[in-house]
Amino acid sequence: MRTIIEPFRIKVVEPIRMTSREERAALIRQAGYNPFRLKAEHVLIDLLTDSGTGAMSTHQWAGVMEGDESYAGARSFFRFEEAVRGIFGHTHVIPTHQGRASERLLCRAVVKAGDVIPGNTHFDTTRANIEDTGAEARDMVIPEGLDPDLDHPFKGNIDLADLERCIAEVGRERVPFVLITVTNNSGGGQPVSMANLRGTRAICERFHIPLLLDAARFAENAFFIKLREPGYADKSPREIACEMFALSDGAVMSMKKDAFGNIGGVISLNSDEWAEKIRTALILTEGFITYGGLAGRDLEALAIGIEEILDEEYLKYRIASTAYVGNHLAQAGVPLLKPIGGHAVYINGRRFCDHLTDDKFPGWALSVALYEHVGVRACEIGNVMFGTQDRATGAWKWPALDLVRLAIPRRVYTQSHMDYVVEGITELYQHRREIRGLRFVHRPAVLPHFTATFELV
């Protein structure tokens, strides 16, 4: 059978408010041409993020009712701890309210000014939390990962030679850990191979540096390894995930992605010293060590979700349904980052809007036009998110890729919703020369894409 069906039935529905193009043109203008500033009720199909936007299962909702809301030592924490440790395998399991809280607690505990954190590609909040300590987040994805047209199975891999040179150059004492993001979100949702993780582990062991995973989409990464890496076709996603984590010394995770959570995160570590520092800060800023800013019902839902995500039938559907969108867009000539990722399709903003120069933010302009044209909200991952300006000269440095991410929430939209998205983007591509560029009206110093405002040029 060629038809992809959702491996679930719909039990509760949420109405979508329909809007006209004229309404949307006014709404995006009022929002300062920033899709983040729109009201969700004014969005027809929301592909801004797959973080916290998924639909929970009947088992998760049943778990919500069983949540133990005791302040300390709640049984829901121990259920959560058992589920996480059963996959990650690390000694310490520390709940947090979301991924960036995990990043902040980790960085404040073990990173200091002048340090360097190598990784494949750090995502926005990860980079911001590292830089907030005065350290440097250094990206070193393989060269193939920077070529949007190249069809390479593991474009999320870190460049092992660059990693080794970096450690030798700055000195191991300035590298508290290496962080590999699986899958590599900023690089197009591309997976990291097991061979690359082994190579990274070998380098880290030689220099006595811990290897950590940013594990927000670990299950999707595991399934890509099953599909693409020799020797893994007969292994289950859970077996592959456990092997991935066994190569690491710890992990941070936003559980709003591959745990079907609407909120939640975790830090998983082997180091007693690091865990002690993090738990001390956790009590000061998040809550007691057995809830970490989460309700007991959230811990129950996450414990169930992290098991559900490893269901092979679900992952088969997830990867295939995302590829369905990407393949249909590619057939229509829309320039995409290849190959198609697991959680999202990434449009090449520079190629789509090749009439706009980098200083007019082609990817961001495309995201604005997409909302105005068909009411679809997407996220730019490019010039606005990662562009930097030299304070002395005013010159801009643009990232290697200027992408628009169509992040597909888990278990939320049907194939007909995705057909609407494909049709709308295809129509817009035929009129791409009409898309106008933008310039900043207000640009915050940190994570500007969340709240910046723009005007048309």
The candidate with the shortest Cα–Cα distance to 42, out of 26, 19, 13, is 19
Query: Which one is catalytic: 123, 177, 352, 386?
Result: 123
Q: Catalytic: 232? A: no
Query: Which amino acid, one-letter code, is at 237?
Result: P
Spatial neighbors of 309 by CB under 8 A, at least 6 apart, are 219, 258, 259, 260, 315
- Look up residue 226 and give its amino acid: K
- What lies within 8 Å, CB to CB, of 149 at 6+ separation is 338
Task: For 361, list phi and psi in degrees, rounded to 5.
Answer: 55, 70
Asked if 397 contacts 388 with a C-beta cutoff of 8 angstroms, the reply is yes
* Range 177-202 burial, b when 16+ CB lie within 10 A, else e: bbbbbbbbbbbbbbbbbbebbebbbe
Instruction: Verify whether residue 440 is a known catalytic residue.
Output: no
The span from the CA of 286 to the CA of 97, in Å, is 8
Cα(44)–Cα(36) distance, integer angstroms: 14
Q: Active site includes 177?
A: no
Residue of 124, 139, 159, 402 marked active site: 124
Q: Determine whether 328 is an active site residue.
A: no
> Is 71 labeled as catalytic in the residue annotation?
yes
Q: What letter would DSSP give residue 189?
A: S
From the candidates 46, 50, 159, 214, which is the catalytic residue?
214
Residues whose CB is less than 8 angstroms from the CB of residue 453 and which lie 6 or more positions away in sequence, other chains included: 32, 33, 34, 37, 440, 441, 442
Q: Which of the residues 109, 215, 216, 452 is marked catalytic? A: 216
Looking at 301, 449, 452, 454, which residue is catalytic?
449
In 3D space, the residue among 62, 127, 61, 52 whose CA is nearest the CA of residue 343 turns out to be: 52
- Rounded distance between C-alpha atoms, residue 264 and residue 282, angstroms: 14
Cα angle for residues 351, 357, 360 (degrees, 5° grid): 110
CB 187 within 8 A of CB 156: yes
List the catalytic residue out of 8, 40, 62, 71. 71
List residues with catalytic annotation: 71, 123-124, 214, 216, 257, 449
